[in-house]
Amino acid sequence: MAARRDRGPIDHDGAFFKVKGPLNIGRSPQGQPVVLQAGGSEAGQALAARTADIVFSVVQDIEEAKAGYASLKTRLPAFGRRPEDVTVLPGVMPVVGRTDKEAFEKLNTLQNFVSGSIALAILSDRFGRDMSAYDLDGPIPDIAPSDSYHSFASVMLAKGRRENMTLRDLYNLTAAARGHWVLCGSAERIADTLQLWFEEHAADGFNVMPPYFHEGFEDFVQLVVPILQERGLFRADYEGTTLRDHLGLARPANPFFAA
């Protein structure tokens, strides 16, 4: 239920509850809950520009990420918003090793656990069609992105065609990280790459999705995060007391009170 200033007190008295209107508790310490949005279609970006604090994105390379980032940020002024009002977080699955060789060995081990039937089921769901009818070792079929997972399908199809992948390559990638960016290498290589994306305006941060728990998460925290902290790219302590504080988001003004 939302109050409108031009309607006066609510004074609702119905079958299930009655209320005069004013809420008798204080405002949330962070103003309002953090609003998160996912989806890079035209409609998704328009919704994000109007309403979101955080945007999750599915991308596979830096140029693609920069284009999506710029597209969203340029939409914000139309809604009276600034670029810093919305934080863009691409999804990334970091596979961390003490060397590049160790990291790729870990990734290879993980991919050996992929079930073909499960991977195909995921592809079929995300592409909106039965993918079992296609040759697994043939080229990516000429299909259009589905409406239900438009961003995911567009990104994965583009990557597959750009890199001459087979359908088997694509389903291995999809099963491993659900279509998100897989970043594999030493801690230094991963830190360098994340820094590059940040500095090139491809991301404001990252939605980090460990390949497995707990070791996969601990590898990132213990090996990559200290490097980012040394470079001044990641905090060494909490920024405040709320999620909004930690994400570097401003507390929104109360729309029911004049500034």
What's residue 255's pLDDT?
73
- Which carries the bigger pLDDT value, residue 175 or residue 33? 33
Calculate the alpha carbon distances from 170 to 180, 204, 226 in Å: 12, 27, 33
Contact in structure between 83 and 53 (CB atoms under 8 Å): no
What's residue 84's pLDDT?
94
Distance CA 23, CA 10 (A): 11
For residue range 194-233, list pLDDT tens digits in order: 999 999 999 999 999 999 999 999 999 999 999 999 999 9
pTM given for the model: 0.80
Distance CA 158, CA 34 (A): 32
For residue range 42-100, list pLDDT tens digits in order: 888 999 999 999 999 988 889 999 999 999 999 999 999 999 999 999 999 999 999 99
What's residue 4's pLDDT?
58
- Which carries the bigger pLDDT value, residue 12 or residue 244? 244
Give the CB-side neighbour count of residue 206, counting CA atoms within 13 A: 30
Bridge partners of 188, per DSSP, are none
Q: How many CB atoms lie within 10 A of CB 131?
A: 21
Residue 23 has pLDDT above 70, yes or no: no
Residue 147 has pLDDT above 60, yes or no: yes
Query: What is the average pLDDT across 229-244?
Result: 94
Residue 148 has pLDDT above 70, yes or no: no
Query: What is the average pLDDT across 95-122?
Result: 86
CA end-to-end distance (rounded Å), the chain? 24
Calculate the alpha carbon distances from 57 to 32, 130, 163 in Å: 23, 25, 21
Q: How many CB atoms lie within 10 A of CB 71?
A: 13
**How would residue 104 be classed by pLDDT, with cut points 50, 70 and 90?**
very high
Residue 168 has pLDDT above 90, yes or no: no
- pLDDT cut 90: percent of the chain above it: 49
Domains parsed from the chain with CATH numbers: 31-246 (3.20.20.30)
Calculate the alpha carbon distances from 21 to 4, 45, 245, 257 in Å: 10, 35, 30, 16
